[in-house]
Structure 1
Amino acid sequence: MTEILVQDAASAAISTADRVIEHPAWPRLKNAVEEIRPWQSKDGSIDFDADGAPTRAAAEATLDRVIDAVEELSPLLPHDAAYHRALATDLRTWADGAFGVPDFLDSLLAFQPATGRADGLQHLVVFPMYTQNGNPDRNLEAVALRMVWPDWLAELERTRYDNPLFCGITFEDFTSGYDTHSAVLFPETIAVREAPERFTWGGIFCDREAARFRAVTTEAVGVLGLELPEDIRALVGDQKRCQKAFVLWDMVHDRTHSHGDLPFDPFMIKQRQPFWMYGLEELRCDLTAFKEAVRLEADGFPQGRDVQYAVLFDRMFRFPVTGERVRNYDGLGGQLLFAYLHQHDVVRWTDNTLKIDWERAPQVTNQLCAEIEKLYRDGIDRPKLVHWFAAYELVSSYLSPHPGSRWAKGPDALDLTQPPRKLVDDVLPDEFPLSMFYEALSKKLKNVIASTKGIRASDQVAVGAASGAAA
């Protein structure tokens, strides 16, 4: 056991000292991957009969460059040695199979970042995958990343928020699939022949989340004329402090999907439901993180207050006006939070200026969390369709449905002889349209939101001065 601990410590030391992206093999790896990506079809295969396709020999030569670069970089990362060996095998198998639909299950199973979480530990990841909120195709990607696991976070996970699969991570560098809005690395996105029995890790890039939050919040504060308290203004101006808030938020949010009164599969992966159900689930997890942050602040953790305002501002300013309106469940959750706080007089929009009652915000936000928790608890005793209507009633108590909505007219407007999953077809693509407030805000924030595509932490160095001026 002692020997294993010493090896782990040595691995962390070498991985922290020798940056993957500063090694000459890293740009060679990136260039080779970028050469392969345009040749791939949506499913990750290469059609050699397509226009602009390479010869098979050329594809094999480029893939050899990928394998050579991985093998050259692997000694920097001894904790990933088994994964890199399996990766090389999967890459060669892909080539041997004439570059058909890729199958990287063996290397996925060999990659186990959650078993050795150490602050600053590097990983080199190469997989064919899509990137959520980014590239929908399963292209080959290369990502150099670093673990975020400070002692205070590890202690909270050990004592209060057990989440052994969670990986807080930051970008070192990446290929084109992450030059997008994606801020997650999930095993579910990787091309495999069959899904493993269970996934053993999930990574969220807290640096991109923090940088995106700072950019959008700074703009929103200026547009809305919101006066920030000094400590919140300092938060928005500090990238490292924001990263701490987001990694804590993410850890608590992630575990909440499987905690509490759950009337359904918490991730809802295998169920077809109206998108407001997904919106309520994501909002429940965020508001649980908010509630825990209030407790953490009371217990003397400075990150607690930061998480509260990261949740409030990201949910109210960025989420409702980001992405398409078609079944935008994260946007719906943000709309609901703002409407709830507005109708409970915590936020006021008067004289074209937004005002927040900072003292009442925690209490009233926790009230909304309690309403959603009650919905879930009561849902355990309800049939599925009755539960869906109860959830619709909760949302429509604060948000106006589209005037053409069948669901808004109640059960009599639907064909209840159909199974519930068929009634999802009667849900409008934008069942709860943006309010006039958000229609106007969307136009004013669209440019800054677009600018956060592919954002890096280093892009946000100057935001502090801007947020101070806005306030």
Structure 2
Amino acid sequence: MTEILAQDRRGGDAGSAERVIDHPAWPALKDAVEEIRPWQSKDGSIDFGAEGAPTRATVELALGRVISAVEELSPLLSHDAAYHRALVADLRRWADGGFEVPDFLDSLLAFQPAQARADGLQHLVVFPMYTQNGNPDRNLEAVVLRVVWPDWLAELERTRFDNPLFLGITFEDFTSGYDTNSAVLFPETIAVREAPERFTWGAIFCDREAARFRKVTEAAVDILRLGLPEDVRAMIGDQARCQQAFVLWDMIHDRTHSHGDLPFDPFMIKQRQPFWMYGLEELRCDLTAFKEAVKLEAEGVAQARDVQYAVIFDRMFRFPVTGERVRNYDGLGGQLLFAYLHQHDVVRWTDNTLHIDWDRAPQVTNQLCAEIEKLYRDGIDRPKLVHWFAAYELVSAYLAPHPGSTWAKGPDALDLTQPPRKLVDDVLPDEFPLSMFYEALAKKLKGVIASTKGITARSARSAESMSAAKDASVEPTLAAGAA
């Protein structure tokens, strides 16, 4: 099994098909979509009465080019034929209905990428949608992607981490909504008349995650003067290796949302809760991936140790200082991991240098995971509000609450005659502010994090090549000057 897992063999026919983005119909499709997007309102409709609005005939011409391009590209992707037929029908119905709020439920139901996961398989996806952590409006988007499903990952999913809806994917090309920080393709973001009874897939772009991780981690390591084992340094320098780590991390994380001692809605999408509850849920899933990676490493799985480094570094360096400080639950999870490791002497900040006890890091990280799991297990026997306070106590044991926090004062400071969802209004937008350490780090990493907007493996390689060429061109000058 170890020998199989150590390989990253690309599937045969799936990876060798003609690249969709090399076909002349792809740039034609992109241009037509980009023409339509600015005409759309937040809900995806087009208001022809608005100032500067196009004529209906103009929009119909642009949409016709979208349809023609999809029909021209579809023969390259026979596995998506049913989806593309439904897509064309939805596009035409949108036009026939006067470009009101789009409804692409039929094509969404026809798109079933998780039913035939094959490494390197291409998909052409067109939907009106918002992009999570990207564009909040339901604009028309087009994206070409490839599935990441190497044999070793398929074997782990089949035998150990059953997750039939999960897709690891990489970008080939995309329209403006993905020239953002979005690294997911989720069906719930698509404009439909009604939500389907159940979603049948969920996809995460491991190439963007890996490229972003590498750039931010390299900068943080340099800023913090963190000494790295040679193997870790090699991993951070290798995009393909990092992608393998992220696709394994993502598969286990995604699965964990529906495994363990859980609330009735593990994703908490339909519940109004304090944002630290969301932060603990996301951190629980990440730390479960870490815990499983420790086991897999002991069994000889080549990608498992890299997952551990990816979880620790991404959570500690990028998450706390990314995004606004308004209900930033991912940032909170990163702050909590760092504080926990610091207060258990795994992470030390001395002489303006960060030190990590690599030998103790797995044990103590798993210890935090166990504390969160116990919180969940005990929560099954608690009323909701009592559970929220127990979670607050766990977080505030390691992170200092805002001095103006009402929740920090305890139950007596809250109007407990109100339903729990109303008490969420008493949570401060930044209930657990950044520490002085993170305030300083945020200033130094701000530009690097901003530069990762829209990053892909291809753009990262291009930037690295330009940097290497620049360095090479400078060397002769320096040498001549020294002489």
Any idea what SS the aligned residue of 1:302 has?
Answer: coil
**Matching residue of 2:239:** 239
1:263 aligns with 2:263: yes
Change in Cα spacing, 1:48 to 1:15, as seen in structure 2 (3 Å) is farther
Supply the AA of the counterpart residue of 1:266.
P
Supply the AA of the counterpart residue of 2:28.
R
Any idea what SS the aligned residue of 1:181 has?
Answer: coil
**Matching residue of 1:174:** 174
Structure 1 residues 367-376 or 260-269, which shifts more? 260-269
**Matching residue of 2:191:** 191
Any idea what SS the aligned residue of 1:197 has?
Answer: coil
**Matching residue of 1:43:** 43
The answer to whether the 8 A contact 2:120-2:148 is kept is yes
Q: How does 1:333-412 map to 2 (within 5 A)?
A: 333-412=333-412
Supply the AA of the counterpart residue of 1:103.
D
**Matching residue of 1:331:** 331
- Using the TM superposition, give the Cα deviation of residue 302 of structure 1 relative to its aligned residue in structure 2, in angstroms: 1.5
Distance 2:15 2:72 in 1: 14
**Matching residue of 2:320:** 320
**Which deviations, in whole Å up to 9, do the C-alpha atoms of 1:261-305 show, x marking residues without a partner?**
013411001100000000000000000000000001000011110
Distance 1:279 1:152 in 2: 31
Any idea what SS the aligned residue of 1:137 has?
Answer: coil
**Matching residue of 1:32:** 32
1:210 aligns with 2:206: no
Q: How many percent identity over aligned positions?
A: 85
Any idea what SS the aligned residue of 1:369 has?
Answer: helix
The answer to whether the 8 A contact 1:74-1:81 is kept is yes
1:153 aligns with 2:168: no
**Matching residue of 1:284:** 284
Any idea what SS the aligned residue of 1:192 has?
Answer: coil
The answer to whether the 8 A contact 1:14-1:77 is kept is no
Supply the AA of the counterpart residue of 1:288.
T
Supply the AA of the counterpart residue of 2:384.
K
Distance 1:314 1:32 in 2: 37
Change in Cα spacing, 1:223 to 1:15, as seen in structure 2 (3 Å) is closer
- Using the TM superposition, give the Cα deviation of residue 433 of structure 1 relative to its aligned residue in structure 2, in angstroms: 0.2
- Using the TM superposition, give the Cα deviation of residue 15 of structure 1 relative to its aligned residue in structure 2, in angstroms: 6.5
**Matching residue of 2:5:** none
Supply the AA of the counterpart residue of 1:132.
Q
Distance 1:306 1:94 in 2: 46
Any idea what SS the aligned residue of 1:287 has?
Answer: helix
Supply the AA of the counterpart residue of 1:257.
H
- Using the TM superposition, give the Cα deviation of residue 456 of structure 1 relative to its aligned residue in structure 2, in angstroms: 1.2
**Matching residue of 1:80:** 80
Unaligned runs of 5+ in 1: 1-10
Supply the AA of the counterpart residue of 1:197.
E
**Matching residue of 1:453:** 453
**Which deviations, in whole Å up to 9, do the C-alpha atoms of 1:403-460 show, x marking residues without a partner?**
0000000000000000000000000000000000000000000000000000010232
TM-score, normalising length: structure 2: 0.93
Distance 2:14 2:419 in 1: 57
**Matching residue of 1:435:** 435
**Matching residue of 2:68:** 68
**Which deviations, in whole Å up to 9, do the C-alpha atoms of 1:205-246 show, x marking residues without a partner?**
000000000000000000000010000000000000000000
**Matching residue of 1:59:** 59
- Using the TM superposition, give the Cα deviation of residue 145 of structure 1 relative to its aligned residue in structure 2, in angstroms: 0.2
Unaligned runs of 5+ in 2: 1-10, 472-483
- Using the TM superposition, give the Cα deviation of residue 390 of structure 1 relative to its aligned residue in structure 2, in angstroms: 0.1
- Using the TM superposition, give the Cα deviation of residue 253 of structure 1 relative to its aligned residue in structure 2, in angstroms: 0.0
Change in Cα spacing, 1:231 to 1:193, as seen in structure 2 (3 Å) is same
The answer to whether the 8 A contact 1:214-1:460 is kept is no
Distance 1:171 1:317 in 2: 24
Distance 1:321 1:375 in 2: 26
Distance 2:59 2:16 in 1: 34
**Matching residue of 1:418:** 418
**Which deviations, in whole Å up to 9, do the C-alpha atoms of 1:375-415 show, x marking residues without a partner?**
00000000000000000000000000000000000000000
**Which deviations, in whole Å up to 9, do the C-alpha atoms of 1:5-41 show, x marking residues without a partner?**
xxxxxx9726632000000000000000000000000
Any idea what SS the aligned residue of 2:128 has?
Answer: strand
**Matching residue of 1:98:** 98
